Amino acid sequence: MDDSFEDLIASYVENKIGISERFMSDALADNLKQNLINLNNESLLLTAGIGNSEKFALDGTIRKDVIYWLDKKHNNVFENEFFDIIDAFVLYLNESCFAGITGYEFHYSLYEKGDFYLKHLDQFKNNSSRKYSMISYLNSNWKESDGGELMIHQNKSQQKISPVQGKTVFFKSNELVHEVLVTQNTRMSITGWLKSD
């Protein structure tokens, strides 16, 4: 597990975008994906908004996905396994990089065909607690024609990252403008933020 953590940190240090191809096992990704599908079938996912509780809005011209917040109180065995990995990564990050992370929040995210999320930063103007963004993808057999890439903009260049199962992306929440390109297939992930309150 430390190897995947070091992959994230080393690639982040090199390029401001950390990428690990093996942050979680295929078995865990499959189980989390099934959780997400079940929640969606039960109509428990909510339309995602923009902003936070102090300045929240629903705007389908900017963002079109549905989400469900993960919580240890749900006592879901697979979500708790995911949280165990995140706890271990936070400990590793704090010990190796003195990051000062004190908490986190994560949600499932589901994009249907035609959905997207326009350019944005992940840190709110009125709240700077989000320090790092993390996205773990749950899409097996993803093809280039499926679209839905994460597009990161930095230094007048663009980097496309395909949402392939097992891949996790890590970057500073206040640094990199990014977007989700229009997807041509159902696109699933766990998206969240490491925080310092």
Amino acid present at 177: V
The average pLDDT across 84-113 equals: 96
Is residue 52 scored above 60 in pLDDT?
no
Rounded to two decimals, the pTM is 0.92
pLDDT band at 48 (very low <50, low <70, confident <90, very high): confident
> How many other CB atoms sit within 10 Å of the CB of residue 156?
5
* Sequence letter at residue 143: K
- Given pLDDT bands bounded at 50, 70 and 90, which one contains residue 26? very high
Burial 46-82 (b: 16+ CB within 10 A, else e): eebeeeeeeeeeeeeebbbbbbbebeeeeebebbeeb
Strands (E), the chain: 18-20, 46-47, 66-69, 103-111, 117-120, 130-137, 150-154, 157-161, 168-172, 177-180, 187-195
Three-state DSSP state, 81: helix
Cα(119)–Cα(138) distance, integer angstroms: 22
Structure-token match 């057999």, residue found: 141
Supply the pLDDT for residue 21. Answer: 93
Residue 122 has a pLDDT of 83
The model's pLDDT over 168-182, given as tens digits with 9 standing for 90+, comes to 999 999 999 999 999
pLDDT mean across residues, the chain? 92
How far, in Å, CA of 151 to CA of 119, rounded?
9
For the chain, list the domains and their CATH numbers: 1-49+59-195 (2.60.120.620)
